[in-house]
Amino acid sequence: MNSFSKLDIKTKFCVVIFMSVIFITVVELLHLFYMFLVPKDNFTGIIHYNNYTHHDYLPNALFTNYATGEDNYPPAVVSINSIGIRGPELKQKKSYRVIFLGDSFIQADEVQFEDTFSEKLNEYFGSRVEFISHGISSWSPIVEFSWLYHKGISLKPDEVNIFLCINDFWGDEKYGRQAVFYGEIPICYKSKNQKVSIFNHLKSKLLITSVLKKAEKLFKAEKTGKKSFLKDVIQPYCENDKNDWPLNRKNYYERTLQIVSQINDFLASKNIQLNVFLTPMGYAWKDEIQGIRGLPNYKGLGDRMISQNRLENYMLDDFKKLGVKFYKLESFFSEAKKMNQGVKLFNSADGHWNKNGHEVLVRYFTTFYEGR
């Protein structure tokens, strides 16, 4: 008999607990070592939450974005300038200036800076037109309005192009609850406690914290029914007649259009032109975003193609009534797909435009601004 078997039950229990604690501690230390020392995308470390634009890049930040999942794009180095925009420091305005504004599609941190469509346009137009892009993951028009008010206007643009994304409709509802308005302008956001203790920061990085959070989400999903981005957002807006949209979805849509209309009025008062586009999404073509189609959030998508054309038509009519210029982009992407069959325009796993997708936008906006 070994020495362990001779121990009484109480002592055995204490030994097992002690060894389990030692094991978990070693695993957590290895996990923390990986989190802090192994090179990876440190995107979350250069986004800061603030009262003025909710969240944005930290000025003068530098990070590298690495491909995950089925994506295989090369590591993209992202350098943020002193005013919080990707790229070199902006020079004094000397020509017609255009700002592209949006969410993670415009952020484009999977693509090398020189391959982004705005920088390709700068290369093509030279001193005739200057293009500036700024986008942050999960931004929607209400936050973009705040950014324009606090930063964008100071850049003296002649034109602003806002890219809407289908999930902006609920984003504006969420940010709207946190925003503080001066008239129609969201000038700041209700502050959360931004100071995080070292203990809480380390606790958030622990493996067991992640496991417990995932377990909590699964429990809530089983109890309340997990929401599906496909069924709750994409299908109602893209496949259903507008009159059949659920009331809350219709309200979210109308609120976003109202905010964009207010941005238009704000910019018009400063003699700045606003143009609006709906971001083309990969689910419109069955050979795109293969790494996403099997995810729970897209359950049922399979090889289906869901076009945003119907939604674009609704937006075209509704924005016309509001005096806002809206342009359709999906058809231009469809033409590009036909002309270059087999060429992917979106990353498979993260769903954003890849380098080829940016090239399509270069062609579109080259025509759009030629002759300006």
Superfamily of domain 43-194+225-369, CATH level 4: SGNH hydrolase (3.40.50.1110)
Task: Give strand ranges (E) for 167-322.
Answer: 179-182, 185-189, 273-278
**Residue 201 binned pLDDT confidence (cut-offs 50, 70, 90):** very low
Q: What is the 8-class DSSP label of residue 5? A: G
Residue 299 reports pLDDT greater than 70: yes
CB count, 10 Å around CB of 20?
Answer: 10
pLDDT at 17: 81
Decide: 60 and 103 in contact? Cβ < 8 Å. no
In the predicted model, what is the mean pLDDT of residues 122-139?
96
**CA dist., res. 174 & res. 138, Å (int):** 11
Domain boundaries, the chain: 4-35, 43-194+225-369
In the predicted model, what is the mean pLDDT of residues 245-265?
96
| Chain center to CA of 292 | 15
Q: Which two tokens stand for residue 367?
A: 């025509």
CB count, 10 Å around CB of 162?
Answer: 24
Residue 254 reports pLDDT greater than 70: yes
**Residue 290 binned pLDDT confidence (cut-offs 50, 70, 90):** very high
Which runs of consecutive H residues, i.e. helices, occur in 51-184? 104-107, 117-125, 141-150, 168-178
pLDDT at 194: 46
In the predicted model, what is the mean pLDDT of residues 308-319?
98
pLDDT tens-digit readout, 79-113: 999 999 999 999 999 999 999 999 999 999 999 99
Beta bridge partners, 86, equal: 80
**CA dist., res. 180 & res. 202, Å (int):** 32
**Residue 296 binned pLDDT confidence (cut-offs 50, 70, 90):** confident
Q: What is the mean pLDDT of the chain?
A: 87
Residue 323 reports pLDDT greater than 60: yes
- Specify the higher pLDDT residue, 227 or 298: 298
In the predicted model, what is the mean pLDDT of residues 12-35?
71
Decide: 257 and 141 in contact? Cβ < 8 Å. no
pLDDT at 223: 44
Q: What is the 8-class DSSP label of residue 80? A: B
**Residue 354 binned pLDDT confidence (cut-offs 50, 70, 90):** very high
Output the CA–CA distances (angstroms, integers) from residue 342 to 141, 231, 346, 356, in the order listed.
Answer: 34, 28, 12, 12
- Specify the higher pLDDT residue, 222 or 316: 316
CA dihedral (301, 307, 310, 311) in degrees, to 10, reads: 80
In the predicted model, what is the mean pLDDT of residues 183-209?
64
Residue 196 reports pLDDT greater than 60: no
**CA dist., res. 138 & res. 155, Å (int):** 23
